[in-house]
């Protein structure tokens, strides 16, 4: 089978793990993601994942709680490790071999990030889950996704969201919003569309790394994207 993308980085938000809950990790959502990733793996696609931690703690919320920004960002990084451990456990229940890699050294639960080792895991067919963001404060998991995708020479970033692409406005708030099937980085910036944070977006633009924004909750979307179907919105140079 001819695949459009052979090595992908899947970006998931922590909030997506909540499902219908207001906090924490939904077992149903874990199963949903693990099943989709397994189906992708059966096509021999090399898969890396970056997952946020907003379902547990957001660093940006720290200022409202009296926690200083840097400390709050590190707390957010630890939240991504919890999510990564949960996703790894769910994947392995589905028979998918994976490696949890952390940008912060915690040898008992995750491998430390070494670029060549991470690439080797992908080549051997293991799903690689990158956790703890970039390992530095002031950077989002979007930035971590852009950085890791470029470092491992991914073909594309697949950004899973609750909506089926990029719109002229928030479709959940504005019923007149129209969807883009394709859009350039420059146009997205000029229109002020929030695809990823600007640091991540610029990094992808400079390295000509395309981004597909799509509805992760729709069954089989991942399969359809790697097989070359028009799903969501493609952002490219």
pLDDT band for position 65 (cuts 50, 70, 90): confident
| pLDDT over 70 at 59, yes or no | no
* Residue span of the structural domain in which 68 resides: 7-236
Tell me: pLDDT of 20 over 90: no
Say if CB 197 and CB 191 are below 8 A apart.
no
In sequence order, the 6+-apart residues with CB closer than 8 A to the CB of 40 are: 8, 47, 222, 223, 226
- The pTM score is 0.94
Q: Say which CATH number the domain at 173 has.
A: 3.40.1160.10
Across the range 153-162, mean pLDDT stands at: 95
Among 96-105, 150-159, 192-201, 221-230, the minimum mean pLDDT is found in 192-201
CA angle (108, 112, 116) in 5-degree steps: 140
- Distance from C-alpha of 119 to C-alpha of 228, rounded to nearest angstrom: 24
Calpha distance 231→213 (Å, rounded):
8
Mean pLDDT within 119-123 = 98
pLDDT at 104 over 90: yes
Q: Is residue 183 situated within a structural domain?
A: yes
What pLDDT band is residue 60 in, cutting at 50, 70 and 90?
low
Dump pLDDT digits (tens) for 31-47. Answer: 999 999 999 999 999 99
Q: Is the pLDDT of residue 204 over 90?
A: yes
pLDDT in tens, 79-93: 999 999 999 999 999
Count of CB atoms situated within 10 Å of the CB of 138: 11
- Rounded to an integer, the average pLDDT of 42-66 is 86
Per the domain annotation, does 2 fall within a domain? no
Is 38 a domain residue? yes
Q: What pLDDT is stored for residue 61 in this prediction?
A: 66
Strand partners, 129: 49, 100
pLDDT of residue 213: 96
CA distance 86 to 54: 14
Residue 62 pLDDT grade (very low, low, confident, very high; cuts 50, 70, 90): low
For 136, other C-beta atoms within 10 Å of its C-beta total 15
Residue 159 pLDDT greater than 90, yes or no: yes
pLDDT at 64 over 90: no
Q: What CA–CA distance (Å, rounded) separates 4 from 226?
A: 5
| Residue 1 counted as domain residue | no
* Number of separate domains in the chain: 1
Rg (C-alpha) for the chain, rounded Å, is: 17
> Are residues 210 and 236 in contact, defined by beta-carbon separation less than 8 angstroms?
yes
**Res 63 pLDDT > 70:** no
Mean pLDDT over the full length of the chain:
93
In a domain, 122, yes or no: yes
14 belongs to a structural domain:
yes
Tokens 């790894």 sit on residue: 88
Q: Is residue 99 part of a domain?
A: yes
């Amino acid at each position: 089978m001819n695949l459009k993308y052979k090595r992908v980085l899947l970006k998931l938000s922590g909030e997506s793990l909540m499902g219908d809950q207001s906090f924490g990790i939904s077992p149903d959502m874990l199963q949903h993601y693990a099943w989709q990733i397994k189906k992708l793996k059966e096509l021999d696609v090399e898969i890396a994942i970056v997952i946020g931690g907003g379902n547990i703690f957001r660093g940006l919320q720290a200022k409202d709680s009296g926690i200083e920004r840097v400390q709050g960002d590190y707390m957010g990084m630890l939240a991504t490790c919890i999510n990564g451990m949960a996703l790894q456990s769910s994947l392995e229940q589905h028979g998918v071999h994976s490696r949890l890699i952390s940008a912060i050294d915690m040898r008992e639960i995750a491998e430390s990030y070494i670029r060549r080792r991470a690439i080797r895991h992908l080549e051997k067919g293991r799903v690689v889950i990158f956790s703890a963001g970039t390992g530095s404060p002031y950077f989002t998991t979007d930035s971590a996704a852009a950085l890791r995708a470029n470092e491992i020479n991914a073909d594309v970033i697949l950004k899973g969201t609750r909506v089926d692409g990029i719109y002229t406005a928030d479709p959940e708030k504005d019923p007149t919003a129209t969807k883009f099937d394709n859009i350039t980085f420059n146009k997205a910036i000029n229109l002020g569309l929030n695809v990823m944070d600007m640091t991540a977006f610029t990094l992808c633009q400079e390295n000509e790394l395309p981004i597909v924004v799509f509805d992760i909750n729709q069954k089989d979307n991942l399969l359809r994207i790697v097989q070359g179907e028009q799903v969501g919105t493609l952002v490219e140079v």
